[in-house]
Homo-oligomer: A and B are copies of this chain.
Amino acid sequence: MQERPKTRLHVDGALGDGLTVGLDHERAHYLRHVLRMERGDPVAVFNGRDGEWLTRIDGFGKGWCSLAVRERLREQRDGSDLWLLFAPIKRGRIDSVAEKASELGVSRIWPVFTRHTDPHRVNLDRLRANAVEAAEQCERLTVPELAEPVPLERALAGWPEERVLFLCAESGGATPIAEAVRANAGRPAAFLIGPEGGFAKSELDEIRNRPFAVPVGLGPRVLRADTAAFAALACWQALVGDWMAGSGVDARPPDRSAADPGPPSIR
């Protein structure tokens, strides 16, 4: 197989032999004027359904670019069944949560409003853009779903009982995370991270009373919300997810040339 293309993009359309993929204005501009790519140059693409494909730039126009789909580079495979529910936090930090949740293999990112949540709005398009860019860079074959923000009670009311909800609360009784995660190996999972000010005590009690909720402890220090999210997701992947020995054919990332750090970010 030829060398892997240095540029990798998520696309919406179908991928298969002989098909053509169109890129929008922003991406066409990026390929042509930022990366200075030309007709015939290779681009890897994935859509979350058909695996990863090698394409070649077929043509540029005013505000568009077409890619000719050539050859499958990787078969599609499902990612982890892992949700992240988190209370919106301030801008720089929430962007980083979306980025790192994507890198850490989360399948659904779900903003939830708790009693002490501030801000009360969340820019879903911005979060999605961060998650997609991270998926492109980290070699995922899927992108995380960005679920519509809802009040926490509503998320809990419709909860699928078979999915364990690991509650990351900084105080109160909890099982150390390594133990809790291993005890629930094989179940679809979700982590719930509270806002910077913590959950309300009444709220904590209500969550703990749910049969699917398992409070987990992240040690003796008070972690910021974003730190708690990264830490919890990493522990899950390491212990029962796709970082384990023998967890899949792609247990190490595809090789890159270390001498070439790749193109700058699109955004």
Contacts and interface: CB of A to CB of B under 8 A. Distances in A.
A241 B219 contact: yes
A261 interface: yes
A132 to B, nearest CB: 14
Given A227-B100, A227-B103, A261-B198, A217 B252 contact: yes
B139 A220 contact: yes
How many copies are assembled? 2
Interface stretch (A48-56, A184-192, A228-236): A228-236
Nearest to A235: B238
Contacts of A197: 258, 260-262
A164 interface: no
Contact of A221 (B139, B198, B235): B139
Given A231-B230, A235-B238, A103 B223 contact: yes
A138 B200 contact: no
A243 interface: yes
Interface residues of A, number: 65
Contacts of A206: none
B198 A104 contact: no
A67 interface: no
Interface string A96-123: 1001100111000000000010000000
Interface of A: 92, 96, 99-100, 103-105, 116, 137-140, 170-172, 174-179, 195-201, 204, 217-224, 227, 230-235, 237-239, 241-245, 248, 250-256, 258-262
Q: Which 10 A-B pairs have the closest CB atoms?
A: A197-B261, A231-B234, A219-B243, A198-B258, A138-B221, A220-B250, A230-B230, A178-B238, A222-B253, A235-B238
5 contacts: A103-B227, A137-B222, A198-B261, A219-B237, A222-B256
